[in-house]
Amino acid sequence: MEFIRKTPDVDPSQLRLLGHGKAYTYYAAPTSSGTICMFPVDAQGQSEWSGCTLLTGFESYGLRLETADRTESAWLVVPEAAKQSLDAAKNEAGWTAQAPNFLLRSSR
């Protein structure tokens, strides 16, 4: 995947598929600098933006991204926190759990 070369401290073999939204497919990988990054990839296989957070403390909130037009949001959490995260977002309609550690909301 070409986009991963833009983030030199990510080992491509560590890249994992998280889930699929209407606009993006989401991947994540840890970095050699102690962070975890999430990459939204469009239908053409391009990722023009990403989000990263420190692995230390990741379990307290996870990593949450939102598209610029606010039509899609993705939230990577530790599996044990997924239900709690869904409960915390109950005032934001549309969140679904696509995996034990990945929540997605789409308004398209």
pLDDT in tens, 37-72: 999 999 998 888 889 999 888 888 889 999 988 889
pTM: 0.86
Q: How far apart are CA 21 and CA 19, in angstroms?
A: 7
Sheet holding 72-76, edge to edge: 63-66, 72-76, 102-106, 95-99
Token readout for 63 is 């990593």
